[in-house]
Each structure stands twice: as structure tokens, then as C-alpha cells.
Amino acid sequence: YLRNMVRFKMDYFKGMSYDDIRPIFEKYFNFNVAFLEKTKEQMEEEDSKALKRKSEILEEKEAKKQKLDKEVEELKKHL
């Protein structure tokens, strides 16, 4: 994990015991897990914002269409 994810070289760990390596691993692993959890929360928040924007855009389009329809009806009456 430390070699692949954090780019530690294997030479760095030569001569170190498991008890020396474990805190280093936990530090980076916990950092990564916290980032992933934060990302999930942010993604859910962004999804809800996107849905709100989408519904607002649809409402605006409907309002414009209704306004244009009313204008067309008024123009037809005058002709």
C-alpha cells in the first residue's frame, strides 16, 4: 500500500520493524479514508444542488413558454 499509493520506496523500510512501519501506514491510510468519506458527502451535496438547478431551469423554461404562448394568442387576436 505505501509503495503503490503513497510512493514510498522499499529501501525506506529496510531495517524497520513492523511496529515502526505500522504508524506510517495508519497515518496515510486514515488520511485516504477520510478523503474518500468527504468526497462521498460532497458528491451527494453536489447531486442535490444539480437537481435543484435542473428543476429551476425547467421552471424557467416553462414560464418562458407560457409567456410566449400568451404573446402569440394576443397577436392572433389583434390580427
Cβ proximity of 5 and 11 under 8 Å? no
Q: State the pLDDT at residue 79.
A: 75
Please state, rounded to an integer, the average pLDDT across all residues of the chain.
Answer: 82
Band of residue 37 on the pLDDT scale cut at 50, 70, 90: confident
